[in-house]
Amino acid sequence: MQEIADRLQRIEEALNTRMQSIEDTLAGWRRTLAKASRKEKNALRRKQYREAAKRKQEGLLPLPEKHVLRFRDKRLKPRFAAWAQMGMRFGAANQPEQFFTWLVHAWNNCSYLRKPVTFSGSSFRIWDCNHRFSYGPRDLMGYACRKNEVQLLRNDAEHDDFVKRPWWDWSYAVLSPVVQLMQEDAHFEELPERFRRLLKIMVGGWGGHEVYTGLTWDFQESRENINKMFRRMGTDLQLILKACYIGLRVRGTASPVPLPAERR
């Protein structure tokens, strides 16, 4: 019996020694992994710093300390002129949807050090001074991703939602100054009628788009008048919003659409 007890003790001691060795090995691996993780994090952080420095050198701007959709950023004035010139090129090619996609991408991806509008899950995140608000595509701009049919405003609540959609503020802050510069171009009236019509629709009331005799398009119109005009130009608005939606979803700085040839 003593011999068995001694053997069991030796086995136990061997197991304890083996377990300690395994624990020491695992601890070493954990330290190695932690060290590697820190190196990776530091490398990623350095890469982000380098990219941020590069973007600053490229003339990109810090995000404004304002709601980015409601604030007409005067620092973008030189870009407005360049965007208007590109708009004339898209106009000459009669590509309004492509122009909206390109312009939204240029504003969102190629103007600021950080994107004003990001996308996560199924909603957009809109910069507002020091944090981001979440909006779905319908709440932001009234775009229904899965269908393009025109939905009439069924009650006062839907009408209130429509007139307060944040994307109309973007239209005033970003698109309107670009369109104004385009209209100053001597060749603007030579652009195709559909291209000019879609621009007027997206800038809202000051665009002066007469849908019916004596009834001009405006985001702030009454529910009855908006529904009436939707029956004639609602599809055009949905096509514009789809193009804007695509522009917001694009990642990176490469143009999401082929650029038209330069005007001669």
Is the model's pLDDT at 196 over the cut of 80? Answer: yes
pTM of the model: 0.78
How many CA atoms does the CB half-sphere of 117 hold within 13 Å? Answer: 25
Q: Could you report the per-residue pLDDT of 93-139, keeping only the tens digit for each?
A: 999 999 999 999 999 999 999 999 999 888 999 998 788 989 999 89
- Bridge partners of 125? 118, 134
Which helix (H) or strand (E) segment is 22 a member of?
Answer: helix 2-57
Is the model's pLDDT at 235 over the cut of 90? Answer: yes
Is the model's pLDDT at 62 over the cut of 90? Answer: yes
Residue 253 near residue 109 (C-beta atoms within 8 A): yes
Average pLDDT over residues 232-259: 94
Distance CA 125, CA 140 (A): 10
Average pLDDT over residues 182-210: 96
Closest CA to 250 of 52, 45, 100: 100
pLDDT of residue 237: 95
Strands 210-212 and 123-128 turn out to be unpaired
Higher-pLDDT residue of 100, 58: 100
Domain spans in the chain, listed from the N-terminal domain onward: 1-58, 74-249
Is the model's pLDDT at 261 over the cut of 60? Answer: yes
pLDDT of residue 46: 73
- Bridge partners of 134? 125
Lookup: tokens for 122? 């199924």
For the chain, report the end-to-end CA distance as a whole number of angstroms: 106
pLDDT of residue 36: 73
Distance CA 139, CA 174 (A): 19
| Three-class SS state of 139 | helix
Count of all residues that appear for the chain in the document? 264
Task: Say which range, 48-57, 74-83, 143-152, has the weakest mean pLDDT.
Answer: 48-57
Residue 89 near residue 261 (C-beta atoms within 8 A): yes
Distance CA 76, CA 182 (A): 16
pLDDT of residue 27: 83
Lookup: tokens for 203? 């800038």
Distance CA 250, CA 75 (A): 23
